[in-house]
Amino acid sequence: MFPFFRLWFGLLARCFRSHRTLLLENLALRQQLAVLKRRHPRARLHPMDKLFWVLARRFWADWKKSLLIVTPETVVRWHRAGFRLYWSLISRVKKQVGRKRLAKEIRNLIFRMVAENPTWGAPRIHGELLMLGFDVSERSISRWMKRAPRDPELARRWQAFVRNHRDAIAAMDFFTVPTVTFQLLYCFFIISHERRQILHVNVTRHPTSTWIAQQLREAFPYESAPRFLLFDHDQKYGLEVPAALRSLQITAVQTSIQSPWQNGVAERWVGSCRRDLLDHIIGLNERHLKRLLAAYTSYYHDDRTHLGLCKETPARRIRSAATGPVICHARLGGLHHRYDRAA
């Protein structure tokens, strides 16, 4: 009985609708009926069926009430897929966009001038190309200069220069360590470039320029200071640290702002210290962290091999010549181990 009353109620409701609305609803129902009459286990909608409902969604406000075979979200998805297909077909049309590509002859000339004249900039090269009859903008030359192949000989020369002077270079830096009570401790260290040796390390809660100057005096007693000392633009150094360096006859070399790669040896040691030790412990207080850093410095110097030192240690660990069994020595409470042969 209930379906019968519902049918009559729907008929009465349609009597108050406009003729245009009834025609559209009738067309929608007939189209869906034609789909359902196809002999398939599951009704398959053809592209024309999808196009019909996409257009109905565009021009008919009550299209959702007559939709039965799919959900309204499916029709919206068809519309978006058609939008993507439309623009993908348009984008396939090959059109020349932007400025004309620079000729290979001009590119090779730019690369040649960059290699033969390292001090030349884009305006100078642009002037030479104009004299040769090439019409090219200075902006294009500047952009192609960045892609010029680099001479590996320059890198080898710089590497040789660093090797010859690294015994006179040291670096200092800070890094922070949180404690168990969520306070910050500041770790100060000085590292030598020659053998990656840690010359000095200390911990404090309140780093000041006076404290840093005292650390420098303790690190370089009796005229043992290097010629150059690298450090960044940290405000903690103030005016006292440069004065202390001048009194020790050390040339201060500050890296560029926000350029930690210029102090790569110090940054690598910070990373090694964090991976080897600090990521596995929780500092209790200043005294506890000092003891851990002292133990790690000993392990770093005597036991840990380094790729930059041809798999040697900063303290020149002697290779075992014995043929006995391999024995293990725990380091840093068992975080790391050293292996030797028994005599």
User: Counting beta carbons within 10 angstroms of the beta carbon of residue 269, is it exposed (0 to 12), middle (13 to 18) or buried (19 or more)?
Assistant: buried
User: Counting beta carbons within 10 angstroms of the beta carbon of residue 179, is it exposed (0 to 12), middle (13 to 18) or buried (19 or more)?
Assistant: middle
Where do the domains of the chain lie?
A: 11-87, 104-149, 168-316
Q: What is the pLDDT of residue 223?
A: 82
Listed in sequence order, the residues at least 6 apart from 340 whose beta carbon sits closer than 8 Å to its beta carbon are 320, 326, 327, 329
CATH domain 168-316 topology: Nucleotidyltransferase; domain 5 (3.30.420)
In tens digits, the chain (343 residues) has pLDDT values of 444 345 445 555 555 566 667 677 777 776 776 676 665 556 667 777 777 777 777 777 777 766 767 777 887 887 888 888 878 887 776 555 566 778 888 899 999 888 888 888 889 999 888 888 888 888 988 988 888 887 777 667 766 767 788 889 999 999 999 999 999 999 999 999 989 999 999 999 999 999 999 999 999 988 889 999 999 999 999 999 999 999 999 999 898 888 888 888 999 999 999 999 999 999 999 999 999 999 999 999 999 998 878 889 999 888 887 788 899 999 999 999 999 888 7
Alpha carbon 126 to chain centroid, angstroms: 35
Q: What are 198's strand-pairing partners?
A: 191
What does pTM read for this prediction? 0.57
